[in-house]
Amino acid sequence: MRDSSAHAADRGGVRMTRYIAAAAVLLATAALAGPDEVALPDGYQERFVNYLDVDRLDRNRVRKMYVSPEAHAAAQAGAPLPDGTVLIMEDHDAQIGADGAPMFGADGRLIALEPVVNIFVMETNAAWSTANETWDYAWYLPDGSPRPDASFDGCFSCHASRAERDYTFTYWTFLRDRAE
Ligand code: HEC
């Protein structure tokens, strides 16, 4: 009796060890899978919802923010974003006048030049485990290729400062303002 229970305990121990090893491999894979897994969605400029444009006067840049339409339809103000939400921030240089100062449109906003300068993508996926829960990040060049020298530490740390808003800067407030 004592033998068999000791044996059972051993087997339990082995199972637990195996389980932990498997979990560690899964976690490592999830963490490594990160940026490579965050794809640039095809045709996002047509398919996604351009929910906001941000004028960055400090950088003479206009940032166009997009959200995946399925997530936009399901997202609720004040709640974690739906699994699979993709947010895109597309940078454009602003038009500069002959005097070197930025020009403004009739609406008082910066004027975005057509070319895209940078494409930042963040995506939440329930299967991922990252420093920012299930969010991961990617940075694409205008031709759609991943930026080769990109570092993602900054994405994680800076967006972590908005953990209570599901790691987003503008979309959370957009949803909140829309609900009011
Ligand atoms: C120093 C802080 C900082 C770092 C680093 C940073 N972000 Fe952001 N991010 C912001 C701010 C602030 C905004 C809101 C737009 C603005 O004011 O420029 C934003 C907005 C975004 C958005 C639009 C959705 C939202 O949350 O509003 C995406 C997508 C995004 N960032 C992706 C990235 C990616 C990818 C990286 C890394 C390559 C990154 N960010 C690095 C501060 C940061």
In a domain? residue 12: no
- Helices marked H in 38-163: 44-47, 69-74, 153-160
Q: Which residue has the tokens 């070319």?
A: 115
In a domain? residue 8: no
Question: Among 53, 72, 89, which residue has the most ligand 1 atoms within 8 Å of its CB, making it the best to mutate?
Answer: 89
- Helices marked H in the chain: 2-37, 44-47, 69-74, 153-160, 170-179
In a domain? residue 5: no
**Cβ 54 under 6 angstroms from ligand 1:** yes
Domains contained in the chain, number = 1
**Cβ 63 under 6 angstroms from ligand 1:** yes
- Tell me the pTM: 0.84
Distance CA 33, CA 29 (A): 6
CATH of the domain at 152: 3.50.70.20
DSSP state of 3: H
Atom 37 of ligand 1 has which residue's CA nearest to it?
Answer: 155
In a domain? residue 140: yes
Contact status, residue 47 vs residue 65, Cβ threshold 8 Å: no
**Cβ 51 under 6 angstroms from ligand 1:** no
Atom 13 of ligand 1 has which residue's CA nearest to it?
Answer: 169
**Cβ 87 under 6 angstroms from ligand 1:** yes
pLDDT (tens, 9 = 90+) of the chain, 180 residues, equals: 444 444 444 444 444 444 444 444 444 444 444 457 899 999 999 999 999 999 999 999 999 999 999 999 999 999 999 999 999 999 999 999 999 999 999 999 999 999 999 999 999 999 999 999 999 999 999 999 999 999 999 999 999 999 999 999 999 999 999 998
In a domain? residue 69: yes
pLDDT of residue 180: 86
Q: Is 85 helix (H, G, I), strand (E, B) or coil?
A: coil
pLDDT of residue 37: 84
Whole domain around residue 88: which residue ranges?
Answer: 38-179
In a domain? residue 110: yes
Contact status, residue 47 vs residue 69, Cβ threshold 8 Å: yes
